[in-house]
Amino acid sequence: MKLLLKIISFVGGSILLVLLHVILVDFFPYPLNYINVVFIGLLWWLIYNPSYETKIRIVLVGWLIELYASTPFGILLISLVAALLIVDWLLRTILTHHSWYMVFLTGVAGLALYRVIYVLLLIVGASFFHVGAIPNVKILTVVIQEVLLSSFGIVLLYFVSQLFTRRMNPRYINLT
């Protein structure tokens, strides 16, 4: 029973994150609608609880958003998983101090990696497998806006989280 509840809350939490993204994208005016709420949520989860369960959640959320993506299946999922695994390594080895500027850097690095891998996969898919389309240079403006706005978003979430939990506060050492 406990396991079933855990699975339901795991799947429900992932679906809720996707729904929150849909609501906020429609709610916010330009350019705030470029904020990647899914990435912010997953990154925050990764910082707050870098467990195996969180990594599985990344795969599940990636699969859910693939169901409604316009790009060929797999591009978003692989970009998301690869970028967040690399960010996880960065958080463990380089950006270990959970201060607000490190969280901002993590956001910038993570989103930039995500979009670089995404664009590379689109190019590979269009060039070798003739699926999808190579994005044009206008995507650069969109990506820069997304990276900056989402990084500010996760910093905001970080400050709010500090009010409710010690785990996000760098003054307390994380012994887990």
Partner 1 sequence: MPRPLPRQLIISILLATAALVFFHYLGWLGPFERGARALITPIISTAHNLGASLGDRLNFFSNQTDYNVVEKNLSDLKEKFDTQNARLKLIEEENSNLRQQLSYAKRSKIDGVMAEIISQETVNNEQTILINRGSSQGLKNGQPVIVGDGTLVGTLIKTENDIAIVRLLNDSQSRVGARVLNKDGSLGAVEGGFRVSLRMNLIPRDETVLVGDQIVTSGIEDGMPRGLLIGTVAVVENEPYQPFQQAILTPSVDYNKLSIVRVLIGSDV
3-state secondary structure 35-76: CCHHHHHHHHHHHHCCCHHHHHHHHHHHHHHHCCCCCCCCHH
Quick check: 70 binds partner 1 (CB under 8 A)?
yes
Q: By CB under 8 A, is residue 57 in contact with partner 1?
A: no
d(CA 16, CA 27): 16
Q: Is 28 in the site for partner 1 (CB under 8 A)?
A: yes
Q: Which residues contact 44 (CB under 8 A, 6 or more apart)?
A: 154, 157, 158, 161
Under rule CB under 8 A, residue 140 binds partner 1? no
Decide if residue 166 touches partner 1 (CB under 8 A): no
In the complex, least distance from residue 91 CB atom to partner 1, rounded to whole angstroms: 8
Nearer CB in complex with partner 1: 5/176? 176
- Is 73 an interacting residue with respect to partner 1 (CB under 8 A)? yes
Q: Which of 2, 3, 4, 29 binds partner 1 (CB under 8 A)?
A: 29
Q: How far is the CB of 162 from partner 1 (least distance, A)?
A: 18
Closest by alpha carbon to 115, among 71, 56, 60, 68? 71
Report 85-104 residues binding partner 1 (CB under 8 A): 85, 88, 92, 96
Distance in angstroms (rounded) separating the CA atoms of residues 113 and 56:
19
Give the separation between CA 20 and CA 23, rounded to whole angstroms. Answer: 5
Rounded to a whole number of angstroms, the minimum distance from the CB of residue 84 to partner 1 is 10
- Residue 135 in the binding site for partner 1 (CB under 8 A): yes
